[in-house]
């Protein structure tokens, strides 16, 4: 009996995969979009550091660091893989930090981050599942909890090293004086040479960073456009009715409106996905900012306006289902 | 019929869509080469959208010649199949097409006598092509196209004669020739437009005569300037117009092309003929000319074999029924890092599990992708960034439909107009979270209960 001839070695066969189309994909990633947001926040951070010195960087550092640590911690508690590298925790931390006053106590940032990540995000199921913007949840929580140390009164420090903080923030001035006459000039509001939360004072930096994100398609352009439109129209009407109130331009460049319009309202997770919905969200945000500034006890209404619009987002999505090119599907027409 | 006065007035593009890499370079400059006659071909009895054919030759070892009809059907929506080589039939067999359908097929073993490569090339593209069909009756033209087994060569493989016979009550005023070739990699239509314009124009005129339509438009994406120039020269003295449309995927989708060239909107669930248009691929037009002017059935087609996974990309004139193995061998074989074989282009093509699959009439290309070309990213959560909405050519909300599909929430998927989706894949291409959006929607369309 002879041994069977050794099987001849097959030529190397490539490993072939079967998969449904499409077989190509763009290089865009969620992490890349978050990086765009962080880059967009850079001019704002630089200007904050310019006006408020090291205090700005410390606040942002505390919030970014604790947001990332809490995200890691909560993910570990849920037994989920760490999602820290997608950058969303860093973005939430940066926005939270930039929405703080320069002299906020360190624990305000830490507690804010804890609430932002825990109750704002992870409790809903993590990235993509939350209803409310995490940073705004955290910010609102600390604003109510530590109303003395970071409320509007805390912004004014007469013996501070920076000149800007020796006066009340513009919107507080407007609220207390009930008039627009005592406000800093428009130019000072535009370049940020006024008191306020770290990231909100420099409108110019918000616009530059916002345009970057819009051009990179990492933020929907319709949301900020709708925001500006909404606030501009309603505040112009108010200005025409009562010339004593804040003018349209003061509304637009004063306070945190632009920071919110470009960086917070555009948070994709908590804003509508449809084009018309993004317009509605933006306009609603602008109008709510005006109403809260004008009629509530608070001088500023950005955080509340965002949270209220966040709550409406699922509804807005349903209201604004776009009609397909070619009209609705026949089966739906019959009903 | 309508005259040229209300000729094209589209903007040359459609809203949204994507810009994938063109990747036309590998095969763009390769002249169409004729595949040497393989030792055997396997002719599937169903290569089109519609009813399968019954075999006309049941007995094995029957002699057949190129162009002999070997399968036919009485159904209205069907197209006969023909022997693509000279030889002897073998016992009928069952094969699996790239789209997953199991169909019967008739193998043919090659005989000694075969037409030479030059003869085949000249027969398909060479010589003079008529530009005047006024002496032919429309019915006669449609019959010739039907007998030739013509189907749409762009990929959908819908029987051409059915398209040319609009149901009563529908008026057709425009014949739109699709030379967009918007799929990355593929260059088969491009080569035809560069090498065989006369056949394309002739076929367009024949089809127009069959429908008694005067308005004939050829649309070509503007990344193929040479094709646009050559076609413009070729249509001189005829009623045919050539339009360069914007290079954007899916420009070659009928609905997008009609919108871009004619500014007409095909209703959801409707067909081009609902807006008075018949769309025909340029390759189909060339085959129509051959069928009508030369009485030759559709036995061969041009197919692009390309991609980084193929050693020598080429455009090949191959007989229907030749296997992809023969095509790949003709093109120097696969490289070692070849990872995925796609019948058609990478955006909408089907993957082949095996190279031993026959080329069908609708196969426009074989794109071999390497490990490097394929997306490796893990799927992550949807952050509702809306990029899929920004690119959907039909103005849908892909993420909502796909996530509804995942939960089998059919009503929700329908409310978001799931059925309108044409599965072009722009959403899945664009998604930064690597969610298989169009794949989920496709699944939903197949699984959702019909109402």
Mind listing the pLDDT tens digit for each residue in A65-95? 999 999 999 988 888 877 777 889 999 999 9
Interface-testing mutation among A71, A80, A324, with chain B (most B C-beta atoms within 10 A): A324
pLDDT over 80 (residue B111): yes
Could you give the CA distance from residue A72 to residue A4 in angstroms, rounded to a whole number?
A: 60
pLDDT of residue B200: 93
pLDDT of residue B17: 92
Q: Using a CB–CB cutoff of 8 Å, tell me whether B263 touches chain A.
A: no
pLDDT of residue B7: 55
Identify all chain A residues contacting B401, using CB atoms and an 8 Å cutoff: none
* Residue A258 located in a structural domain: yes
Mean pLDDT over the full length of chain A? 86
What's A159's domain CATH number? 1.10.3430
Q: Using a CB–CB cutoff of 8 Å, tell me whether B400 touches chain A.
A: yes
Could you give the CA distance from residue A165 to residue A154 in angstroms, rounded to a whole number?
A: 10
Question: Mean per-residue pLDDT for A208-220?
Answer: 93
Identify all chain A residues contacting B351, using CB atoms and an 8 Å cutoff: 16-21, 23
Strand order in the sheet with B350-351: B33-34, B314-319, B300-306, B365-370, B338-343, B350-351
Cβ-Cβ contacts under 8 Å between A and B: the total is: 188
* Domain ranges within chain B, ordered by starting residue: 4-30+118-294, 387-447
Could you give the CA distance from residue A212 to residue A36 in angstroms, rounded to a whole number?
A: 8
Mind listing the pLDDT tens digit for each residue in B410-447? 999 999 999 999 999 999 999 999 999 999 999 999 88
Residue among A33, A127, A321 minimizing CB distance to B415: A321
Of chain B residues 46-75, which have a CB less than 8 A from chain A?
none
pLDDT over 50 (residue A1): no
Of chain B residues 183-242, which have a CB less than 8 A from chain A?
184
Q: Which two tokens stand for residue A213?
A: 């994100």
Residue whose token pair is 């406000």? A183
Question: Mean per-residue pLDDT for B217-224?
Answer: 92
* Residue A280 located in a structural domain: yes
Residue A179 banded pLDDT, cuts 50, 70, 90: low
| Percent share of chain B, pLDDT over 90 | 60
**Enclosing H/E stretch for B219:** strand B215-221
Identify all chain A residues contacting B430, using CB atoms and an 8 Å cutoff: 26, 28
The count of structural domains within chain A is: 1
- The residue count for chain B: 451
* Residue A167 located in a structural domain: yes
Could you give the CA distance from residue A267 to residue A281 in angstroms, rounded to a whole number?
A: 11
Q: Using a CB–CB cutoff of 8 Å, tell me whether B343 touches chain A.
A: no
The answer to whether the CB of B77 falls within 8 A of the CB of B51 is: yes
Domain of residue A59, residue span? 32-316
A321/B385 touch (CB, cutoff 8 Å), yes or no: no
pLDDT over 70 (residue A112): yes
pLDDT of residue B8: 63
Question: Mean per-residue pLDDT for A260-283?
Answer: 95
Could you give the CA distance from residue A331 to residue B416 in angstroms, rounded to a whole number?
A: 12
CATH of B4-30+118-294, one of 3.20.20.60, 3.10.180.10, 3.40.50.11540, 3.30.1330.40: 3.40.50.11540
Identify all chain B residues contacting A14, using CB atoms and an 8 Å cutoff: 309, 334-339
Torsion sign over Cα B251, B254, B256, B261: positive
pLDDT of residue A10: 47
Q: Which two tokens stand for residue A224?
A: 């900020």
Question: Among A143-157, A176-190, A196-210, which stretch is predicted with the lowest mean pLDDT?
Answer: A176-190
pLDDT over 50 (residue B5): no
* Residue A222 located in a structural domain: yes
pLDDT of residue B97: 86
DSSP H helices in B313-434? 324-330, 387-391, 398-406, 410-415, 426-430
Residue among B259, B389, B416 minimizing CB distance to A275: B389
The answer to whether the CB of A277 falls within 8 A of the CB of A319 is: yes
**B86-118 burial, b if ≥16 CB within 10 A, otherwise e?**
bbebeebeebebbeeeebbbbbbebeeebeeee
Residue A177 banded pLDDT, cuts 50, 70, 90: low
- The residue count for chain A: 335
The answer to whether the CB of B372 falls within 8 A of the CB of B336 is: no
Smallest Cα distance from B43 to chain A, Å: 24
């Amino acid at each position: 009996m002879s041994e069977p001839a050794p099987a001849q070695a097959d030529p190397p066969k490539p490993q072939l995969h079967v998969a449904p189309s499409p077989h190509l994909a763009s290089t865009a990633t969620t992490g890349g979009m978050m990086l765009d947001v962080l880059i967009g926040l850079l001019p704002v951070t630089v200007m904050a550091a310019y006006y408020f010195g090291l205090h700005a960087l410390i606040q942002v550092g505390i919030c970014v660091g604790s947001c990332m640590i809490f995200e890691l911690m909560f993910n570990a508690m849920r037994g989920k893989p760490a999602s820290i590298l997608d950058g969303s925790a860093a973005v939430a931390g940066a926005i939270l930090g930039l929405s703080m006053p320069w002299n906020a106590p360190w624990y305000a940032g830490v507690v804010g981050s804890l609430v932002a990540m825990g109750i704002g995000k992870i409790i809903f199921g993590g990235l993509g599942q939350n209803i409310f913007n995490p940073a705004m949840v955290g910010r609102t929580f600390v604003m109510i909890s530590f109303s003395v140390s970071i409320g509007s009164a805390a912004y004014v420090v007469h013996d501070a090293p920076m000149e800007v903080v020796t006066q009340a923030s513009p919107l507080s001035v407007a609220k207390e004086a009930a008039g627009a006459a005592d406000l800093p000039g428009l130019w000072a509001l535009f370049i940020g040479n006024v008191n306020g939360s770290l990231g909100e004072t420099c409108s110019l930096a918000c616009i530059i960073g916002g345009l970057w994100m819009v051009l990179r398609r990492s933020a929907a352009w319709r949301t900020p456009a709708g925001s500006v439109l909404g606030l501009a129209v309603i505040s112009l009407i108010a200005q025409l009715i009562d010339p004593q109130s804040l003018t349209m331009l003061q509304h637009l460049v004063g306070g945190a409106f632009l920071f919110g319009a470009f960086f917070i309202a555009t948070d994709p997770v908590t804003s509508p996905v449809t084009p018309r919905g993004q317009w509605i969200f933006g306009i609603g945000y602008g109008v709510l900012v005006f109403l809260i500034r004008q009629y509530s006890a608070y001088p500023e209404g950005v955080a509340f306006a965002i949270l209220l619009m966040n709550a409406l987002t699922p509804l807005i999505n349903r209201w604004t289902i776009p009609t397909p090119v070619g009209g609705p599907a026949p089966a739906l027409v019959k009903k | 019929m309508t005259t040229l006065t209300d000729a094209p007035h589209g903007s040359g593009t459609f809203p949204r869509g994507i810009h994938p890499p063109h990747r036309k370079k590998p095969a763009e400059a390769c002249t169409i080469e004729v595949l040497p006659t393989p030792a055997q071909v396997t002719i599937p009895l169903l290569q089109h959208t519609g009813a399968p054919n019954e075999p006309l030759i049941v007995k094995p070892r029957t002699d057949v010649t190129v162009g002999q009809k070997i399968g036919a059907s009485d159904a209205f929506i069907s197209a006969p199949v023909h022997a693509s080589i000279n030889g002897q039939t073998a016992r009928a067999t069952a094969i699996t097409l790239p789209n997953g359908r199991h169909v019967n097929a008739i193998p043919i073993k090659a005989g000694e006598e075969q037409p030479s490569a030059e003869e085949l090339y000249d027969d398909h593209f060479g010589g003079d092509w008529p530009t005047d069909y006024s002496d032919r009756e429309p019915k006669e033209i449609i019959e010739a196209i039907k007998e030739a087994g013509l189907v749409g060569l762009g990929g959908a493989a819908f029987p051409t004669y059915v398209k040319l016979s609009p149901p009563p009550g529908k008026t057709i005023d425009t014949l739109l020739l699709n030379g967009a070739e918007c799929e990355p990699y593929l260059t088969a239509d491009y080569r035809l437009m560069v090498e065989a314009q006369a056949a394309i124009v002739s076929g367009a005129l024949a089809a127009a005569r069959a429908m008694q339509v005067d308005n004939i438009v050829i649309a070509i994406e503007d990344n193929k300037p040479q094709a646009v120039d050559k076609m413009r020269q070729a249509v001189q003295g005829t009623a045919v117009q050539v339009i360069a449309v914007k290079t954007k995927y899916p420009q070659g989708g009928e609905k997008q092309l009609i919108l871009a060239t004619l500014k007409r909107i095909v209703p959801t669930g409707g067909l081009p003929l609902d807006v008075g248009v018949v769309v025909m691929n340029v390759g189909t037009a060339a085959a129509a000319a051959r069928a009508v002017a030369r009485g030759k059935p559709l036995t061969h087609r041009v197919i692009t074999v390309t991609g980084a996974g193929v050693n020598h990309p080429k455009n090949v004139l191959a007989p229907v029924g030749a296997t992809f193995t023969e095509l790949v061998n003709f093109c120097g074989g696969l490289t070692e890092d070849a990872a995925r074989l796609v019948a058609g282009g990478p955006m909408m093509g089907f993957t082949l599990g095996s190279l031993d699959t026959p080329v069908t009439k609708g196969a426009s290309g074989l794109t071999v992708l390497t490990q490097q070309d394929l997306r490796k990213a893990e799927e992550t959560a949807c952050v509702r960034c809306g990029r899929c909405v920004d690119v959907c050519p039909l103005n849908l909300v892909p993420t909502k439909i796909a996530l509804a599909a995942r939960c089998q929430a059919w009503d929700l998927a329908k409310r978001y107009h799931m059925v309108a989706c044409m599965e072009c894949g722009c959403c899945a291409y664009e998604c930064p979270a690597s969610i298989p959006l169009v794949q989920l929607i496709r699944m939903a369309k197949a699984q959702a209960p019909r109402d």
